[in-house]
């Protein structure tokens, strides 16, 4: 990997770190759990690497075998994470309260 | 434009969708849309990857996705809302495992390809991913009650952990210079798995909100490192987003307890200290246990009520009956609100989710800083299974382990009703002088049964 690529990667990394901290600072306490499970699902993005490792030409070897396991774990993370987040968010409702004065 | 350029461009689109997704999570009104955007971002990225010219076989991929989706989907549908902290921990562990496995697969696939910077990040991805995996599994077993939620400590614990870290770094240095050294490579994996276990066992149940969000941050960091190793921008961006946001949330949790991250990680908070327990004298006054009827009268006569839920409400699954009681009193003309401490429960926002499940409108839920000034003008506060977050010692007793922690100042209310399982001290093993105050009514028993009895009593 040449130095230029490394610098570009590090630039992206640092900027995305700031974006992440900035975005989350606006999330209210009420939504901390969905936020956590939602961002947890996002970290299942490792699935991209897992897919590339599994889809190699030779059908079964150490690489594709480990990739296969990685796809399973990442899919559990992605599917499970998004589904529980959605389930929780369905519950956050604002009820119309009749207030007795 | 080559196919690779197109794929990179699609990754950029999906990164934007993830950011918009998190941004929309900042309000309950737009949160569902946010989650959908984030899902779309993921789907787009996966499709783009499958379309890559590097993809050859799809059979294994389809099988693996089917297995993973079945497990993840089943778990997500079945899990009880009260068990959400351990579920999130487990999913998070899967993310860590995936990053480590990807790095291992690539290392096996093209050993000679990795050198210098990419080899360092590859090894970091394996180390962080592996310890995230076992750490999350231990957090899961603790939250499930499979192993004790008390900190597990032994002599020279920190020394042992430090030795493992140093040995891991040394082995990584060896592999860096000689990537063919598979023995050292596997030993690194083994040590990282062990480190995850050893680092989490000394952490007590009450500190779990910090640990769950920290592990969340780690899984993001692991993904980011995988991204560097594979030179994949999507992984770098998304991993650092999650890593930074998890770390920020960890900081919020630490601030809510007025403790440093180092203290949470190494302090073994809540370890049973017999010397203190034996010598300790209870605060002045005595705990006054009341009958349900007495408490019901206090509730009926109140104009304003603030309900303070804690882990005890979750453990007893009392959220639904609590909402019924709140709604009933609300209809009777009582001003009912809920006050929620950031670290109440076992994960950030735990109480909010449970009350949302019970159909409490989210505008009835108040964070500490928004409601603390109102306790002084409130008739009755109903504390359901919360202890340390309402302990006045945090303000008054410099010798207390929780001194300095911001608390809900419930003792300022006219009457405080505390629902508690037994006379025992709370999780952190600290006496709570709130229970001994003159204006405090204790109602002992299971939270769900107590609230149910109160509801029946006030309806009569």
Angle, CA A82 vertex, CA A78 and CA A86 arms, to 5°: 170
CA nearest to B379, candidates B414, B419, B333: B414
The whole-number pLDDT of residue B380 equals 94
Q: pLDDT value at position B283? A: 56
Q: Report, as an integer, the average pLDDT of B180-186.
A: 91
- The one-character DSSP state at B267 is S
Residue B180: predicted pLDDT? 84
Are B172 and B122 within 8 A, CB to CB? no
Mean pLDDT computed over B147-155: 82
Closest CA to B388 of B415, B407, B372, B369: B407
In the predicted structure, residue B437 carries a pLDDT above the cut 60: yes
Whether residue B312 contacts residue B225, with contact meaning beta carbons closer than 8 Å, is answered with no
Which residues pair with residue B417 across a beta bridge? B382, B441
Tell me if ipTM is over 0.95: no
What the block records as the tokens of B180 is 């063919």
Q: What is the pLDDT of residue B157?
A: 85
Dump pLDDT digits (tens) for B290-311.
889 989 999 989 999 999 999 8
| pLDDT > 90 fraction of chain B, expressed in percent and rounded | 60
Retrieve residue B295's tokens.
Answer: 């408490």
Higher model confidence: residue B258 or residue B192? Answer: B192
Q: Which distant-in-sequence residues (6+ apart) come within 8 Å of B264 by Cβ?
A: B203, B207, B210, B211, B254, B257
Lowest mean pLDDT among A14-18, B41-45, B342-346: B342-346
Residue A99 pLDDT grade (very low, low, confident, very high; cuts 50, 70, 90): very low
State whether residue A23 sits within 8 Å of chain B by CB: yes
Q: What are phi and psi of B402, to 5 degrees?
A: -100, 15
Gap between the Cα atoms of B135 and B210, Å rounded: 13
pLDDT for the residue A100: 39
Q: Cβ-count burial of B92 within 10 angstroms (0-12 exposed, 13-18 middle, 19+ buried)?
A: buried
Does the beta-carbon distance from B349 to A95 stay under 8 Å? no
- Taking only the tens place, the pLDDT of each residue in A50-71 is 999 998 876 678 888 999 999 9
Assigned token pair, B123? 């090894």
Residue with the two structure tokens 């590339």: A52
pLDDT over 70 (residue B418): yes
Which residues 6+ apart lie within 8 Å of B295 measured at CB?
A: B417, B441, B443, B454, B457
For B236, which of A9, A62, A69 is closest by C-beta distance?
A: A9
A32 touches chain B (CB under 8 A): yes
Q: Tens digits of per-residue pLDDT, B246-257?
A: 999 999 889 888
- Asked whether the predicted pLDDT for residue B281 surpasses 50, the reply is no
Sign, Cα dihedral of B322, B324, B330, B332: negative
pLDDT tens per residue across span B58-93? 888 999 999 999 999 999 999 988 889 999 999 999
The answer to whether residues A15 and B224 touch, using CB atoms and an 8 Å cutoff, is no
Interchain CB distance below 8 Å, B56 and A89: no
Mean pLDDT across B343-365: 90
Position B102 scores a pLDDT of 96
B278 pLDDT exceeds 50? no
| Helix H or strand E segment including B191 | helix B182-200
The CATH number assigned to the domain with range B284-459 reads: 3.40.50.1220
pLDDT, tens only, A79-91: 999 999 999 999 8
pLDDT of residue B276: 41
Confidence of residue B273 (pLDDT cuts 50, 70, 90): very low
Cite the DSSP H helix spans in B383-422.
393-396
Mean pLDDT taken over chain B: 89
**So where are chain A's domains?**
29-91
What ranges do the domains of chain B cover? 1-53, 89-266, 284-459
Q: How far apart are CA B331 and CA B211, in angstroms?
A: 40
Report DSSP state, residue B289.
B
Residue B389 has pLDDT above 70, yes or no: yes
- CA-based end-to-end distance of chain B: 76
**How far, in Å, CA of B460 to CA of B450, rounded?**
16
For residues B218 and B152, the model is more confident at: B218
Out of A31, A49, A73, whose CB is closest to B230? A49
Lookup: tokens for B244: 């930074």
B370 is catalytic: no
Please tell me which residue in B207, B388, B411, B446 is annotated as part of the active site.
B388
At residue B3, the pLDDT reads 83
Q: Which of chain A's residues have a Cβ under 8 Å away from the Cβ of B212? A: 36
Q: Do A17 and B87 touch (CB under 8 A)?
A: no
* A78: DSSP letter: I
C-alpha B106/C-alpha B270 separation (Å) is 42
How far apart are the C-alpha atoms of B398 and B284, rounded to whole Å? 17
- Centre a 10 Å sphere on the Cβ of residue B174 and count the other Cβ atoms it contains: 16
């Amino acid at each position: 990997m040449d130095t230029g690529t490394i610098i570009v990667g590090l630039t992206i990394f640092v900027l995305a770190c700031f974006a992440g901290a900035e975005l989350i600072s606006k999330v209210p306490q009420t939504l901390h759990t969905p936020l956590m499970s939602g961002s947890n699902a996002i970290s299942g993005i490792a699935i991209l690497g897992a897919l590339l490792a599994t889809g190699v030409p030779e059908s079964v070897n150490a690489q594709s075998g480990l990739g296969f396991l990685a796809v399973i774990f990442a899919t559990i993370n992605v599917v499970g994470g998004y589904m529980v987040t959605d389930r929780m968010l369905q519950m956050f409702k604002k009820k119309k309260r009749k207030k007795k004065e | 434009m080559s196919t690779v350029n197109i794929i990179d461009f699609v990754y950029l689109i999906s990164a934007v969708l993830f950011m918009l997704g998190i941004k929309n999570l900042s309000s309950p009104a737009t949160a569902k849309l946010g989650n959908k955007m984030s899902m779309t971002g993921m789907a787009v990225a996966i499709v783009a990857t499958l379309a890559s010219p590097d993809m050859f076989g799809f059979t294994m991929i389809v099988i693996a996705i089917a297995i993973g989706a079945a497990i993840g989907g089943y778990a997500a549908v079945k899990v009880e809302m009260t068990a959400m902290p351990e579920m999130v921990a487990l999913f998070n562990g899967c993310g860590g495992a995936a990053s480590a496995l990807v790095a291992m697969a690539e290392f096996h696939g093209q050993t000679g390809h990795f050198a210098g910077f990419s080899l360092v990040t590859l090894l970091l991805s394996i180390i962080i991913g592996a310890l995230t995996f076992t750490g999350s599994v231990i957090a899961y077993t603790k939250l499930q009650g499979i192993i004790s939620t008390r900190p597990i400590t032994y002599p020279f614990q920190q020394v042992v952990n430090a030795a493992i870290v140093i040995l891991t770094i040394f082995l990584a240095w060896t592999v860096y210079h000689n990537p063919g050294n598979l023995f050292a490579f596997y030993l690194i994996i083994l040590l990282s798995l062990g480190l995850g276990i050893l680092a989490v066992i000394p952490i007590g149940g009450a500190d779990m909100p910090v640990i769950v969000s920290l592990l969340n941050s780690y899984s993001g960091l692991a993904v980011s490192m995988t991204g560097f190793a594979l030179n994949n921008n999507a992984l770098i961006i998304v991993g650092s987003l999650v890593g930074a946001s998890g770390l920020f949330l960890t900081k919020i949790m630490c601030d809510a307890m007025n403790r440093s991250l180092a203290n949470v990680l190494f302090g073994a908070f809540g370890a049973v200290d017999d010397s203190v327990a034996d010598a300790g004298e209870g605060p002045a006054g005595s705990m006054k246990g009341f009958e349900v009827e007495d408490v019901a009268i206090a509730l009926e006569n109140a104009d304003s009520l603030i309900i303070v839920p804690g882990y005890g409400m979750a453990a007893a699954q009392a959220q639904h009956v609590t909402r019924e009681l709140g709604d009933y009193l609300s209809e009777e003309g009582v001003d009912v609100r809920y006050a929620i401490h950031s670290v109440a429960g076992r994960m950030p926002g735990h109480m909010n989710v449970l009350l949302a499940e019970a159909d409490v409108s989210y505008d009835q839920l108040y964070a500490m800083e928004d409601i603390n000034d109102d306790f002084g003008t409130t008739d009755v506060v109903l504390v359901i299974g919360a202890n340390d977050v309402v302990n006045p010692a945090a303000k008054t007793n410099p010798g207390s382990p929780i001194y300095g922690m911001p608390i809900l100042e419930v003792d300022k209310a006219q009457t405080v009703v505390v629902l508690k399982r037994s006379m025992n001290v709370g999780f952190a093993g600290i006496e709570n002088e709130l229970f001994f105050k003159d204006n405090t009514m204790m109602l002992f028993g299971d939270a769900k049964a107590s609230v149910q009895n109160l509801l029946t009593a006030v309806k009569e």
